[in-house]
Amino acid sequence: MPDWSYQTLFRPLLFKLPSRLSRSITLRTMGTLSRLPLGPFVIRTFGHMEPSPLLECNAAGIALDTPIGISGGVDGQGIAHKAFAQLGFGFIEHGPVTVKPITDSAPIENDYEHETIRYPSYYENEGVERIIERMAMPQHALPQMVRMTPLPGASPEQALHELGFMLKRFNLSEAAGLYVDVFCGNRSWEESFTIIEGLPALVTAYHHSQTPLFLYVPPEYSNEKLIYLLNLPQSAFWSGVVIGEAIHDGEGMLVGRDSKALSLQKITQIRNHCNPSLIIKAGGGVHEPMDALELWEAGANLIMLHSGLVYAGPGLPKRINDAIIYEQVRQTPASKPPSFWKHWGWMFLLGLGMIIGGILSWIIAATSVLLPYDLDFIGLSIEEISHVNHRLLHFMSHDRITLAGTMISIGILYAQLARYGLKCSLHWTKTALMTSGIAGFLSFFLYWGYGYFDPLHALAAALLFPMFILSMRKNPDLPNRKPVNVHNDRVWRIAMWGQLCFVVLGFALAIGGITIAVKGVTDVFVTQDLAYMHTTNAQLNEANPKLIPLIAHDRAGFGGALLCDAIAILIIALWGIGQGERWLWWTLLLGGAPGFYAGFSVHFGIGYTDFWHLLPAVFALLLYVCGIILLYPYLMLKPRHSFLNMEVITTNASD
C-alpha cells in the first residue's frame, strides 16, 4: 500500500469499515504479501524504501539503520512486522506487554476528521510468553523493543512482582531495549512513586544483561514530577525516556495529533533539566514529516509512529527519513558538479541520439516507408508491394511511425534524467536508466524472431551501447539536496492521484510493450490488423514469404521500445515524484507527447480507427493527461519547508 494507492483507493474504503475489521484486513494483506517469495522485494520496489547510510544512528548502544520506529499498538500480534520492516523503519516495538493476555472486543473509534483513534482497552496484548516466542523467531532483522507494563488495576506490590517476572523473562530474550511503564491505568502519583522506588532492587536482581532500560511515560503526565523522578539518584540506570502516544480521557485512550504538543513540552523539560545523555523517544502526534522534525528539533533522538501511519499512509517513515536527510545535508558544502564526460553527459548524448534517430525514422516512415535493404530482403519494389495489398504500406508505416514516436519519447526521458538526475548522482535516476536501457538493448534481439536482421538498427545499437556503458561507470549515489515535502496538505493529496495515474500508465505500457513484442515474434498480427488490410496470413505468405518476417521485425522492435519507455516512466512515477521538481513535470509532458501524437496521428491518417484497437491507447492518453494535470501544482510549487536548527538535527542523528 504505497501512499499513491492508500490515499486514493484504499483509505476511503477502509475508513468505511469498522476499525477492527479494516485494521485486520490491512495487516493480514501486508503480512501475506511479505511472506510470498518476492513479497519483500515488491514492497521495497513500490516505495524505494532502502534507508540511506546517512540515517544510521546509535541509541544507548543500539545500532539503528534509521531513527524511526513503529509503535507496538499498530500491530500487536506481529502479523505484518515483516512488511513493516521493508518500509524504512529502524526498530519495531512490542507492547504494551503484560504477564497475562488482555483481550477486548469493544469497537475502536476512528475520528478521521480530527485524525484521532480511541482505544477502549489500550493494553490489549497476547501476554509475555507469546511475545517471547514471537521474538525468538523474528520475521525481520530490525532491533526489537519491548514495553513492559503491570496489569491494569494491579497494586504497587503486585505491579513490582509482575515487572520483576517480566524482567527475568526478557533478560535473555531477543529484546534490544526494554521500556518500563509504571503509569498505566492512570495510576496516582503515590502508586507510581512506590513502584519507581522498588525498581532498582528489581533491576539488580533480575536484569543481568546489557539491554538498556527506558522509562515510559504518558504524554499528559506531570512534567515536574517526571523531572523529579529522572533526577533521583536511584534512577541512574535509565538509559532514556519514552514519551508515549496515548492520552487518557476517562473513556479510553486517545492516539492522535493532540499528544504532539505535550510531547514537545516534555522533551524541552528533559533537555533543560536532566542528564543530557538520556535518549528520548517520542511518538505522539507524528502525522506528517514536519511533526517529526519539530520533535527532533526539540531534542528527541528517536521517533515512533502509530496514528500517523493510519492517516498519512505507509510511506510516512520514508518521507520522514528523506526530510531528516535533507536537514542534514542542506547546509553542508555541495560536491563539485561532475564533468560532462564523467557519466551523465554520455547518457545525455544517448538520449539526443535516440531523438535524432526517432526523427529520421519518422521522416522515412512518412515518405518512402521502406529502406533499400528492406526492399532487397523481400525482393519487391514499392509498386509491387502496393499490388500485393493496397493497405500494406500504410500498415507498415503505422508500425514505424509509432516506433519513431516512442524512440523520441525515450530520448527525451533519457536526456532529462541524465541532465537533472544522473548529474546529481540520484540513485533512482540511475536505476531507471539502467533497467530501461538494459530492456531496450536486449530487445534488439527480438528483431531476429522471424529471421530478419536490420543493419541500421544494429549500427544504431552499436553506437549507443558504449555511451550507455560509459554513463553507468563510477557513478556514486548522493543524497538529494533539494527541499522535500513535509506536509500532508491538499496539494500533496491531489498529487497522489496524479502519481497513481502515471504508475498505472507505466504498468499499462509495460504490459502493452510485452504483448506487442511477443506478438511480433509469434502471430505477428491481431484480428483488427488483418481486418484493416482485408487479408490473411496465408495470403501474405503466398504473395511473398518474406513479407511477414519484415513486418514482424517492426512489431517486435516497437514492442521492445515501448517496454523500454514504460520502465523509465514507471520508475519515475514510483520513485521520482517530489514536490518542486519542475523539471520532472516538463519531462513527463514532453516525453509523452511524441509517443501519443505519433500513435494517434498515424492511425487516423491511414484510416485505421477500429474502436477496440485504439481503446488501450485512449485509456493510456486519459491517464497521461489526468496525471499531468493533477501533478502540476505539486511539481511546480516549492515545498513549504520550515528551516530547523541544523545543529540539533545533526547531533540527534549521530547520538
Render pLDDT for 500-542 as a digit per residue (tens, 0 to 9).
Answer: 999 999 999 999 999 998 888 888 899 999 999 999 999 999 9
Listed by start position, the domains of the chain span 3-329, 344-475+485-636
HSE of 609, CA atoms in CB hemisphere, 13 A: 5
Residue 523's pLDDT is what? 86
Neighbours of 489 (CB within 10 A): 15
The residue type found at 132 is I
> In this model, does residue 450 exceed pLDDT 70?
no
Hey, what's the cell of 261?
Answer: 504538543
Confidence of residue 479 (pLDDT cuts 50, 70, 90): confident
Computed over every residue of the chain, the mean pLDDT equals 91
Query: Residue 445 gets which letter from DSSP?
Result: G
Q: What average pLDDT does this structure show over 372-386?
A: 91
Percent of the chain with pLDDT strictly greater than 90? 73
Q: CA torsion sign, 590 to 595 to 601 to 605?
A: positive
The answer to whether domain 3-329 has CATH 1.20.120.720 is: no
Q: What count of residues does the chain have?
A: 655
> In this model, does residue 448 exceed pLDDT 90?
no
Confidence of residue 642 (pLDDT cuts 50, 70, 90): low
> In this model, does residue 654 exceed pLDDT 80?
no
Residue 209's pLDDT is what? 81
Distances (CA, A) of 341 to 299, 347, 411, 441: 44, 10, 18, 22
Hey, what's the cell of 495?
Answer: 498529487
Q: Name which of 79-83, 204-208, 390-394, 535-539 the model is least confident about.
A: 204-208
Higher pLDDT, 31 or 47: 31
Confidence of residue 646 (pLDDT cuts 50, 70, 90): very low
What DSSP assignment string belongs to 247-283? Answer: EE-SSSEEEETTHHHHHHHHHHHHHHHS-TT-EEEE-
Query: Residue 66 gets which letter from DSSP?
Result: S
Who contacts 24 (Cβ-Cβ below 8 Å, separation ≥6)? Answer: none
> In this model, does residue 327 exceed pLDDT 50?
yes
Distances (CA, A) of 255 to 75, 185, 284, 308: 14, 15, 7, 9
Q: What average pLDDT does this structure show over 570-591?
A: 95
First to last CA, the chain: 32
Helix (H, G, I), strand (E, B) or coil at 109: strand
Hey, what's the cell of 182?
Answer: 509504571
The pLDDT tens digits of the residues spanning 182-225 come to: 887 667 888 888 999 999 999 888 887 889 999 999 999 999 99
Which phi and psi angles does 341 have, rounded to 5°? Answer: -90, 0
Q: What average pLDDT does this structure show over 37-62?
A: 87
Query: Residue 6 gets which letter from DSSP?
Result: I
Residue 184's pLDDT is what? 75
- Asked whether the beta carbons of 244 and 72 are under 8 A apart, the reply is no
Residue 520's pLDDT is what? 83
Confidence of residue 655 (pLDDT cuts 50, 70, 90): low
Distances (CA, A) of 244 to 66, 96, 307, 332, 446: 19, 11, 12, 34, 59
Q: What average pLDDT does this structure show over 333-340?
A: 84
Confidence of residue 314 (pLDDT cuts 50, 70, 90): very high
Comparing C-alpha atoms, which of 461, 506, 490, 529 is closest to residue 623?
Answer: 506
Comparing C-alpha atoms, which of 205, 283, 210, 201 is closest to residue 60?
Answer: 210
Residue 52's pLDDT is what? 86
Q: What average pLDDT does this structure show over 609-638?
A: 95
